[in-house]
Structure 1
Amino acid sequence: MRFFSRKLIKPEDLNAHGTLFGGSVLSWIDEESAIYVTCQLNKGNIVTKFMSEINFVSSAGLGDIIEIGMETVEFGKSSITVRCEVRNKFSKDTIIKIDEIVFVHVDENGRPRPHGIEEPQNE
């Protein structure tokens, strides 16, 4: 797994308990995974189709730095599946794990279209 992106946890990222709001981190994951997949396919026009179970393992607090890691799991004809881990930059404690995030390459009408890639590209 390669960790590409880091975020500083700010007051607006916290929930009512003073810890990292799950919705914020899920938004960051969706954005980071879309960027990762676009780079893998070397083309845009992708949509998020599926996320497997989201495993909230631990949390983060104000001032913590987290990093978002991505790894390619599988290439389909028009899809690509990745896995994600978010962890604390310094303690390396896992915050969230998602084993499968599936993206589909689509045409201008939103229909699945073969992407023509079989192996990961340079990240």
Structure 2
Amino acid sequence: MNFYSRKLIKPQDMNAHGTLFGGTVLSWIDEEAAIFVSCQLGKGNLVTKFMSEIDFVSSATLGDIIEIGMETVKFGKSSITVRCVVRNKFSKEVIIKIDRIVFVHVDEEGRPSPHNIEEPANK
């Protein structure tokens, strides 16, 4: 798994318990996954179709640096599935794991459209 993105946990990223707010990190994951998939396909026009169980393993606190890792799991005709791990940059402790995030390539009307890619482009 490659870790492409890092985030510094700031006060606006915290929840009422003083730890990283889950909604914030899920937003970061969705954005990073969309960028990763766009690079794999060499094109945009993607929508997030599905996220499997989100496993909140641990948390992050103010000042922590986290990194978001992605890897390709499967290519479909119009879809691509990736896996995500978010971890603490220095301790390597896993914060969140998502086994499957499915994106679908869509046409101008928002309908599934073949992406015509069979293997990762290693971009």
Alignment of 1:2-41 (within 5 A): 2-41=2-41
- 2:85 is equivalent to residue 85 of structure 1: yes
Which residue does the alignment assign to 1:74? Answer: 74
Q: Secondary structure at the match of 1:28?
A: helix
TM-align CA RMSD: 0.4
Aligned length: 123
1:77, CA displacement in angstroms?
Answer: 0.2
Q: 2: CA distance between counterparts of 1:49 and 1:108?
A: 17
Q: 2: CA distance between counterparts of 1:72 and 1:122?
A: 10
1:122, CA displacement in angstroms?
Answer: 1.9
Q: 2: CA distance between counterparts of 1:79 and 1:105?
A: 6
Q: Structure 2: 5+ residue runs without aligned partners?
A: none
Q: 1: CA distance between counterparts of 2:119 and 2:63?
A: 38
Which residue does the alignment assign to 1:55? Answer: 55
1:32, CA displacement in angstroms?
Answer: 0.1
Q: Structure 1: 5+ residue runs without aligned partners?
A: none
1:29, CA displacement in angstroms?
Answer: 0.1
The residue type paired with residue 79 of structure 1 is: S
1:70, CA displacement in angstroms?
Answer: 0.1
Q: What TM-score do you get using the length of structure 1 for normalisation?
A: 0.99
Task: Encode CA deviations 1:54-97: one digit per residue, 9 max, x unaligned.
Answer: 00000000000000000000000000000000000000000000
The residue type paired with residue 12 of structure 2 is: E
1:30, CA displacement in angstroms?
Answer: 0.2
Q: What TM-score do you get using the length of structure 2 for normalisation?
A: 0.99
Task: Encode CA deviations 1:25-70: one digit per residue, 9 max, x unaligned.
Answer: 0000000000000000000100000000000000000000000000
Q: Secondary structure at the match of 1:47?
A: strand
Moved over 6 A (4+): none
